[in-house]
Structure 1
């Protein structure tokens, strides 16, 4: 079975927000979900199909995406469902403010079948604050610097250098495209730049993982540390970009 494309939770969140704002049609959201997986199942606090999934993310007070990683919980409390990305849903009526026991939505599966798990976070959260707590402008600058650093990692590949430079470029382009998030219509060029840079850095990190970085144990440890730091940066920047759009659509 083929694997699930990267970042389905973020795609659902941003397209659902665009739909609620009248920036896209319901069929556009369904088409986007179908690009990720042929079938979608909702499980956990409630069960259902893709239409029930859309209902869960509609008509709520606030939405916010988080992309935790080992050592970087992105403000999520203990007990939050484990996943590469989590959609937090303040399921109170529109206009509600302050901390609440939010819903958490995660996704796992394949290109054939995606399972969405809905649960409730045990610790009250102010979802509206989480949606706007990351400075996108600063993160874009950090990403710009990180692209050059990540490119140096590619130059340090030793185990996977049997391929030609052209093959390496093709592999990088394919991996970058697979890690991009298709976004609804919007007016935020900075968001597009951040999403593209984050996908490119993630692709380079994946390629770096194919070969041996450095020639000594100490060099490998340094490279691994750099990879983890770059991965955390791309997750933080991507989180900020997606939440910027969600907040804008929901104004």
Structure 2
């Protein structure tokens, strides 16, 4: 099957790479499984500077620690200022690689891998932070249980916000349901088999909320600018919560494979 060069890169490739690489290091899957997952995201992967998909896989093979972060303007998720953080503000996803020998702990200057591209070609920017980061601490920075509880409330909040938006709908209800389902599916992460059902619940909730926020942002609900401005703070809070929860869920899978 061919892919249009203008097709967007499937969501969260760095998260998928980190989780599958951790599973491979733990002997829970083969290197071919990681490569197959990467091909699901893009036909060609390039490591910048200099390298292809095998060099990318080697970069995340057997490091001391891996950690995913999903920053956004105004919410750096604990990342220090610098070129890697600035670049990740656009892609909204970054993979930190503490490339010391396994067993190392404490602050270091990690590599940052940032995927940019389309479903045809994904270029992974590789930058090293100037500042030191304790990657091993960031992996377990958020409590997944607390975030799951917050997400339950947030799902209701998102539904209430949509119900409060008025105006002529630009699509029929059935079309809106289909559009929402497509956005929710696009926000899912391709993870290896794991033993953490809470992770699946959290990721399902984040995808649902992200799908709702994306649909609102598209204007398909016919909402007015004044109404959106009034709800903007709540939308930002929901977006921040989904990014924190999604990062924590992926990092929990990484921790399952690497530290247990």
Query: Following the alignment from structure 2 to structure 1, what is the Cα–Cα distance between the partners of residues 168 and 192?
Result: 37
Equivalent residue, structure 2, for 1:122? 130
Report the Cα distance in structure 1 between the residues aligned to 2:36 and 2:139, rounded to whole angstroms: 25
1:94 aligns with 2:124: no
In structure 2, do the counterparts of structure 1 residues 244 and 216 end up closer, same or farther at CA, with 3 Å as the change threshold? closer
Q: Superposed, which structure 2 residues align to 1:87-166 within 5 Å?
A: 87-158=95-166, 161-166=169-174
Choose which of 55, 60, 65 in structure 2 pairs with 1:62: 65
1:13 is aligned to: 18
User: What is the number of residues matched between the two proteins?
Assistant: 248
Q: Does 1:32 align with 2:37?
A: yes
Aligned residues of 1:153 and 1:213 also touching (Cα < 8 A)? no
Q: What corresponds to 1:50 in structure 2?
A: 53
Other-structure match for 2:228:
220
Does structure 2 conserve the Cα–Cα contact (< 8 Å) formed by 1:14 and 1:183? yes
- 2:8 matches 1:3: yes
* TM-score, reference length from structure 1: 0.94
List alignment gaps of at least 5 residues for structure 1.
none
Which residue is equivalent to 1:72?
75
**Matching residue within 179, 193, 202 for 2:187:** 179
Distance in 1 (CA, whole Å) between partners of 2:168 and 2:107 is 49
1:214–1:223 Cα contact (<8 Å) kept:
no
Counterpart CA distance in 2 for 1:6 and 1:41 is 17
Alignment of 1:193-208 (within 5 A): 193-208=201-216
- Give me the TM-score of the superposition, normalised by structure 2: 0.91
Instruction: Measure how far apart 1:157 and its partner are.
Output: 4.6
CA distance in 1, matches of 2:42, 2:126: 18
Unaligned runs of 5+ in 2: 1-5
Local SS of the residue matching 2:125 = strand
* SS of equivalent to 1:118: strand
**Structure-2 change in CA distance of 1:40 and 1:160 (3 Å):** farther
- CA deviation after TM superposition for structure 1 residue 170, in Å: 1.1
**Separation of aligned partners in 1, 2:83 and 2:257:** 26
Report the CA distance between 1:152 and its aligned residue: 2.4
Q: Distance in 2 between matches of 1:16 and 1:222?
A: 43
Tell me the residue number matched to 1:22: 27
> What is the RMSD computed on CA atoms of the aligned residues?
1.5
Secondary structure of the 2:72 match is coil
Q: Per-residue CA shift, 1:49-103, capped at 9, x if unaligned?
A: 1011000001110111111111111110010512111111111101111111111
Counterpart of 2:76 in 1: which secondary structure? coil
